[in-house]
A and B are shown apart, each in its own frame.
Chain A
Amino acid sequence: MLMRSAPLVPGDPQAADAVVALRGAGFGYGDRPVLSDVDLTIHSGEIVAIVGPNGSGKSTLMKGVLGLNERTSGSVSLFGVDSGDFHDRARIGYVPQRHTLSASVRATAEEIVSTGRLARVGWLGRLRAADRQVVARALEVVGLTDRASTEVSTLSGGQQRRVLIARALAGEPDVLIMDEPTAGVDAASQHVLADVLERLVERDVTMVIVTHELGALERLLTRIVVVDGGRIRFDGTPQEYAHARDQVHHDHDSHHHDHELDGHASLAHGPFDTTHSEGRRP
């Protein structure tokens, strides 16, 4: 039996500050839902981590919010508008997971970041002086001002991640949605990256960070959502998360019987226990 964690969504879903609101939403590709029955409201100012092991459905959830896959059920509203009627997509800053940037042709960091500004300019896509300033500021926030004219393929993995963050910032979004910003980035760069995100927190940027490891980011979070087996298993503050995790670890130590872990198993095999993945699902 799986634990159906009661939706811990605080406040009124129709609240004016709801950035993203999902009601009984299911997402997938074709007619096979990967994720179903999701109730989740993210408010302005929150720093939310969506965690879960690989294949848990967390990326599907994120792509569903971005409109990159098919919604199989329920409803999605963005900034209070049904996602079908929502056209101001520039308000959502997307930082995808990319291992290489523009490997096929040469491009500078500034050229890549400028593409993030396009959603905010007219259909001719010409950047004016004010737009170039926004691009320059975005590069500054991620600490890459001195690399603006560097060809991106010569940048380190961590720097390329920051280029992608700057690209999203260039659209002056109201929420940043990041896919595995720290994956495959060495420890030193992770700290630089966490510093960058901290600067964004200081600027009251709402963030949704999809990740399989909290690592250096944990100190920034206001809320943790655990996704596993295509459903939301936990939704609460980092303190509640730590508490729930300790409980499960305690149970685990005293019993050593996987079947007695029941639904809590999904917590035990959360992002801190990625090595144990057997016996997680009944």
Chain B
Amino acid sequence: MTDLLTVDFMQRALVAALLVGTVAPMVGIFLVQRRLSLIGDGMGHVALAGVAIGLVTGTAPVLTALVAALVAAVVIELLRTRGRTNGDVALAVIFYGGIAGGVVIISKSPEGTPANLMKYLFGSILTTQRTDLYLFAGLALLIALTTWVLRPRLFAVANDEEYARAVGIPVLPLNIVLAVLTATTVVVAMRVVGLLLISALMIVPNAASQLVARSFSSGLRWAIAFGLVSSVGGVALSYPLNTPSGGTIVLLAVGLFVVTAVVTGVLARVGGRRHDVAERHEHEHGMECGHPAVPHGDHVDYVHDGHLHAAHEGHYDEHGAHHHEDSLAGLDGGSAPDRTTSTRGTRP
């Protein structure tokens, strides 16, 4: 690993990976929430046209890609709001037009070799220039700050757009901001992840995080953690393995998702066996049910005829007898001796 850090281009690639791994899942969680998981993919397609124009005209491809992606972002969001019927088809036309235009224009440029095209499409650790890195760092900081500042509002709009509109939250401007953040992320991630795989780094870490998270804020933290492990790990691995960095990063992210799914699945099964459902209830425990409330770890239990009830997915779980802390361990065995069989209709 110390070897890796001494190589100049590796340092740059790792810094870029750090930036991308943090920023992509931050923006991605709102795309997942709005069920727009594939929109980043489309913006990547359009960004390729921007890269091509940059290569042909001799301008920095990063800048032209940024301009193309930003224009696409605004047009897409306006189409989504205005066009009621054929918005979906219009998006497809823009996306495929972008990538087809990109491929054709690049072929006319002196740098338009298949190998060069592959680097842009699937990422390469060799392509991050020093000047790019400053721009990426600036853009990443801008994305992270904007997302952090607007997070409550972006969450509200993505959670319930109609409600947000009714209470006067500026829905369209916020959606355009999210589209612009997505486009900017696409460009920042272009070098290391590649234009065809960028969307994966926005979405896959979130897919994994949703398996473990219990709230939106913990979901965001887990997604950033998964994103960082995938992007930095993927770049580090792609050097000794001599593989395209984008593909390596995304495979690592998918691997993390699969492992997380298996682990949470197994844990749920083990937990399910220990899980002991209480008798049917005629009422709902709460402030006014008359049953004493007892804090128990991260939740509240209610003392119901000497044993503890905890709310769980529309029913109540037995959390053992009251005043017997050690009786919780007894739940593994499946039957605590002091559990009453029926207390139906015991509403005080």
B159 contacts A112, CB within 8 Å? yes
Cα-based distance from A265 to B168 in the complex (angstroms): 39
How close is A174's CB to chain B, nearest CB, in angstroms? Answer: 13
Is A90's CB under 8 angstroms from B168's CB?
yes
B261 interfacial contact with A, CB 8 Å = no
By the criterion CB–CB under 8 Å, are A108 and B287 in contact?
Answer: no
Task: List residues 199-217 of chain B with CB under 8 A from any CB of chain A.
Answer: 206, 210, 213-217
Smallest beta-carbon distance B90→chain A, Å: 20
CB 8 Å contact bits of A165-194 with B (1 = contact, 0 = none): 001000100000000000000001100100
B314 touches A154 (CB 8 A): yes
Q: Report if A106-B215 is in contact (Cβ < 8 Å); known contacts: A125-B152, A143-B286.
A: yes
Among the listed stretches B27-35, B48-56, B100-108, B326-334, which one makes contact with chain A, having 4 or more residues with CB under 8 Å of it?
B27-35
B residues near A126, Cβ cutoff 8 Å = 152
The 7 A-B residue pairs with the shortest CB-CB distance, nearest first, are A89-B168, A125-B152, A115-B156, A146-B300, A94-B166, A119-B167, A107-B216
| CB-based contact A106/B219 at 8 Å | yes
Q: A106-B216, A146-B311, A167-B163 are in contact. List 11 more A-B contacts (CB 8 A).
A: A67-B166, A68-B162, A115-B155, A115-B164, A125-B153, A143-B288, A146-B300, A149-B214, A149-B215, A155-B314, A192-B284
State whether A96 and B152 are in contact (beta carbons under 8 Å apart), knowing that A108-B215, A188-B284 are contacts in the complex. Answer: no
CB contacts (< 8 Å) of A67 on chain B: these are: 165-166
A residues neighboring B (CB under 8 Å): 66-68, 87-90, 92, 94, 96, 98, 102, 104-108, 111-112, 114-116, 118-119, 124-127, 140, 143-147, 149-151, 154-156, 159, 167, 171, 188-189, 192
Asked whether any CB of chain A lies closer than 8 Å to the CB of B293, the reply is: yes
B interface bracket (residues with beta carbon within 8 Å of A): 35 or more
User: Once the chains bind, are A98 and B166 in contact (CB under 8 Å)?
Assistant: no
The reply to whether the CB of B8 lies closer than 8 angstroms to some CB of chain A is no
Pick the contact of A89: B167, B206, B293 (CB < 8 A).
B167
* Cβ–Cβ < 8 Å partners of A104 in chain B: 32-35
Instruction: Show the binding face of B for A, using Cβ within 8 Å.
Output: 29, 32-35, 149-153, 155-156, 159-160, 162-169, 206, 210, 213-219, 282-288, 293, 298-300, 311-314
Asked if B210 and A171 make an inter-chain contact with CB atoms under 8 angstroms apart, the answer reads: no
Residues in A with CB closer than 8 Å to B283 are: 188
Contact A119 B311 (CB under 8 A): no
**Minimal Cβ-Cβ distance residue in B for A110:** B215
Asked, given contacts A105-B29, A146-B286, whether A124 binds B168 with beta carbons under 8 Å apart, the answer is no
Q: How far is the CA of A92 from the CA of B168 in the complex (A)?
A: 10
